[in-house]
Amino acid sequence: MMQIAYPYKVDQLGRTASSDEERHLRDLIEQVLFTSPGERVNRPEFGTPILQLVFEPSTDVLATALQATVHAALQQQLSTRLVVERVDVDRDEAVLRINIVYTSRGTGQRTAAVFVRET
């Protein structure tokens, strides 16, 4: 089944661009990761505070907190679509890397994805 692409864009024929199920799940994860709580008007609990926590001093405690926060947010928002198996968060200077291993509930496909944000 085709889904609307995120971020929203128009394809070469002038229609709403679409994506396959695998790409759509990745897009949904990206939305949860990089949306700050309170940013969505009717869903104030949606998202994670990782963009604010990125500016905190790098410690093992912060890395563990980020991993737990990301895992919990993905489970809360996307548990009907996927099963989160593992979350690893790495910070190097101004780059945040989030490695997520998940399985699609729809297809049973296991995927490892990396999300990078430069601060």
User: What CATH number is given to the structural domain containing 75?
Assistant: 3.10.450.40
Q: How many domains does the chain have?
A: 1
pLDDT in tens, 29-59: 999 999 999 999 999 999 999 888 767 777 7
pLDDT in tens, 87-117: 998 877 778 899 999 999 999 999 999 999 8
Most confident of 7-11, 84-88, 92-96: 84-88
Count Cα neighbours of 64 within 13 Å in the Cβ-side half-sphere. Answer: 3
Per-residue confidence at 63, pLDDT binned at 50, 70, 90?
A: confident
Q: In what helix (H) or strand (E) does residue 83 lie, and over which residues does it extend?
A: strand 82-92
For residues 19 and 32, give the distance between their C-alpha atoms in angstroms, rounded to a whole number.
18
* Higher per-residue confidence, 75 vs 55: 75
pLDDT at 64: 87
What's the domain range around 64?
3-118
Local structure of residue 10 (DSSP, 8 states): B
* Higher per-residue confidence, 118 vs 105: 105
pLDDT at 91: 78
